Amino acid sequence: MKLFTTHSPGETVALGRALAAELVPGDVVALSGTLGSGKTVFVRGLCEGLGVSGRVSSPTFTLINEYPAPFGKVAHVDLYRIRRETELAELGIEEYFNDQCITCIEWPEALVEHLPSGAVRVSIAHGPGETERTITIERGVLGIETATLVCGAALSDDGRVLADRWVELRNVHAERLMSLVDEALRGVGLPAVDAIAVSAGPGSFTGLRVGVSVAKGLAFAAGKPLVAVPTLTAIAERAARESVEGELIVPLLDARQGEVYYQLFRREKGAVACGEPAAGRVDEVLAQVAGKDVLFTGEAAARAVEAAGGAVRSAEKAIARCSAGMIALLGEMMARDGLTVEPGLLEPRYIKEFFLKAPHS
């Protein structure tokens, strides 16, 4: 989320023109604000930046104006007068959500259930001065998860997951990841995101290489900041909602050769690390937490429950899995704190050495 203050209609037009440089065909811009706040003025700047020639006017009475553009067209929609679902259906707005059109929607509240999850959200409010405006542009962070069985991509903004697309299958990460990224970014496009966050390990060697390589490539291509989110932290944060204050949260992932990746967290306001990521046997992990209240989570949590004879508890499977949505949310917070990394310097956090199996003779 970015906050801007403009002091004249000309500055509002210029801000719209700047946003246009980050849009691609298929994007949707949803503009909220009271009457006279300057939504159409902002759209005028968008259209200038998108190569529209000619007059841009409010479609209050026509409901939709179409402006020819080099890539196809810009659809300018005003839903102020829409009160019923039947009226909305008759407009056929969703027909404009395609790769030859950029759609700008004033008063999007009427379309809330049909608005693409990745729409760029622009809010315009009157400032203290007569011509002063406070403009908020919400775009979001792209999160990528491939360190576990989950292969996923998600978009978050301002602490909300707007889209989360994933599958949970072995050996499909290289094949499926980019299509999931495209689905998560539908209606917003890569140029409009604020940063790219990737699950950085520990986890599957192959999965980590796939996710980190894709994230680095996207960050290089779009010139976006890159955030490396610790995988075990993301898993622990999801489980924090099931734990109690002061309880230990221990995420476990399969590390092969009879070991697991693990890290100890304490449940406070969230999951606070109280140890470094490590690899070890399940019985060694159980010995470290003996006599303490503990919640195991992650894909290998069941191994701890079995080894302890059912004497410890684990998070529900839906909570235990690592999600691209949580990667995006944590990436958003880390980016806000300046915890980004140069794409060329990012390497997965493997913890263990990578050993190739010798071929059978």
What is the tens place of the pLDDT at every residue in 267-303? 998 899 999 999 999 999 999 999 999 999 999 999 9
Q: Of 346, 354, 345, 145, which Cα lies nearest the Cα of 237?
A: 145
The span from the CA of 245 to the CA of 267, in Å, is: 5
pLDDT over threshold 80, residue 138: no
3-class DSSP assignment, residue 145? strand
Q: What is the mean pLDDT of residues 68-80?
A: 96
Show the DSSP H helices in 69-202 as ranges.
Answer: 85-91, 173-184
| Residue 232: per-residue pLDDT | 98
The residue whose two tokens read 């509240």 is: 109
User: What is the enclosing helix (H) or strand (E) of 248?
Assistant: strand 248-254
How sure is the predictor about 37, in pLDDT bands with cuts at 50, 70 and 90? very high
String of b and e for 105-131 (b: at least 16 CB within 10 Å)? bbbbebbeeebbbbbbbbbbeeeeeee
- pLDDT > 90 fraction of the chain, expressed in percent and rounded: 75
For the question of whether the overall pTM of this predicted structure is more than 0.75, the answer is no
Torsion of CA 91, 93, 99, 101, to 10 degrees: 70
Q: Of 128, 150, 144, which Cα lies nearest the Cα of 193?
A: 144
Contact between residue 230 and residue 147 where contact means Cβ atoms under 8 Å apart: no
Question: What does the DSSP 8-state code read for residue 185?
Answer: T
Side chain identity, residue 281: R
| Residue 361: per-residue pLDDT | 47
Show the DSSP H helices in the chain as ranges.
Answer: 9-20, 39-49, 85-91, 173-184, 205-222, 231-239, 282-288, 301-307, 317-320, 324-336
Q: What is the mean pLDDT of residues 120-131?
A: 92
pLDDT over threshold 90, residue 341: yes
pLDDT over threshold 60, residue 354: no
Q: Of 206, 351, 353, 229, which Cα lies nearest the Cα of 279?
A: 351
| Residue 237: per-residue pLDDT | 96
The span from the CA of 261 to the CA of 265, in Å, is: 13
**What is the number of other CB atoms lying within 10 angstroms of the CB of residue 168?**
13
| Residue 282: per-residue pLDDT | 97
Q: Of 238, 237, 167, 231, which Cα lies nearest the Cα of 201?
A: 231
* Predicted confidence (pLDDT) per residue in 17-27, tens digit: 999 998 889 88
Residue 181, phi then psi, degrees to nearest 5:
-60, -45
Q: What separation in angstroms does the CA of 47 have from each of 17, 42, 96, 156, 343?
A: 7, 9, 16, 26, 33
Tell me which of 54 and 180 has the higher pLDDT: 180
| Residue 356: per-residue pLDDT | 45
| Residue 69: per-residue pLDDT | 97
DSSP track, 305-338:
HHHTTT-SEE--HHHHS--HHHHHHHHHHHHHTT
3-class DSSP assignment, residue 285? helix
How sure is the predictor about 1, in pLDDT bands with cuts at 50, 70 and 90? low
Domains detected in the chain: 2-138 (3.40.50.300), 139-351 (3.30.420.40)
Q: What is the mean pLDDT of residues 343-361?
A: 72
How sure is the predictor about 148, in pLDDT bands with cuts at 50, 70 and 90? very high
User: What is the enclosing helix (H) or strand (E) of 247?
Assistant: none
| Residue 117: per-residue pLDDT | 64
Find the radius of gyration of the CA atoms of the chain.
24
Q: What is the mean pLDDT of residues 224-253?
A: 94
How sure is the predictor about 9, in pLDDT bands with cuts at 50, 70 and 90? very high
pLDDT over threshold 60, residue 360: no
| Residue 120: per-residue pLDDT | 85
Torsion of CA 259, 261, 265, 271, to 10 degrees: -140
| Residue 241: per-residue pLDDT | 82
Q: What is the mean pLDDT of residues 241-264?
A: 93
